[in-house]
Structure 1
Amino acid sequence: MSAGRQYTDADQLAAALTAAATLVGPTTAAAVRAEAMVMHAAILAGASGRPGPNAPTGRYRASWQVQVYPRRHGADAIVGTFAPQARRLELGFYGADSLGRVYAQPPLPHVSPVLATMQGGFAPRLAAAVMGAML
């Protein structure tokens, strides 16, 4: 569909909508993948020293992964880690662990600031990608 074009014939309109619909899924998937990669990079940057956690070995940063699952009309993305220290680093930990060791570990947020920064702009960026596919 081209911007500003008016369709007087229902068949022309239907064909234009069908053509646009075939582009929406791949365009949405590409936009979701791009957002996930930006989020991943921002989390890794936040996990590379203060105010986030220090990264003496790099193993924690290396544990973060991006998984994108294409769907018929878009994609789902997961940015995450299975590292056992992730929760403690993000939220802090005060008290005794299962072995009786006592901690007063302050939070070192490196995920929540990224989510707060990216969340508001996600829908407009996705909408812009979809509109770009339809024009």
Structure 2
Amino acid sequence: MEKQFNREDKLMKKLLNEAGTESPSADFKSRIMMVVENRNATVKPYQPLIPKFMWYVVVTCLICSVAGLYVMYADISLSWSFDFKVPRYMDMPRIDLSRTMQYAIAFIALFFLEIPFLKRFVDRQYGL
């Protein structure tokens, strides 16, 4: 293995010595600086990736989730009855999925929901 690396190293050194180094023209730097100065570059103001109203939505969802979990597992009895009769012809079949399958479906759904938002963000960001 060591011999192979030595051969490759010798070959690379030989090829680099034969090719030599290129040097730019005398006014290369000044031409580049002129091109950069002539560009009309605008500085975009800072905008956070997640807007303020979305933080409010996230916090609200978290608070509702914690409150819902507390009500579900606490010994609090809310006597609200949402008992409505479903007609027999609207009876839906029951689908039993494993917990892993439920997670997989949720992950794929979130992934496909996220793609259009990311595409729109990238298009807006880079002007495509």
TM-score of the two chains, using structure 1 as the length reference? 0.29
TM-score of the two chains, using structure 2 as the length reference? 0.30
Structure with higher strand content: 1
Structure scoring higher RCO (CA < 8 A, sep ≥ 6) equals 1
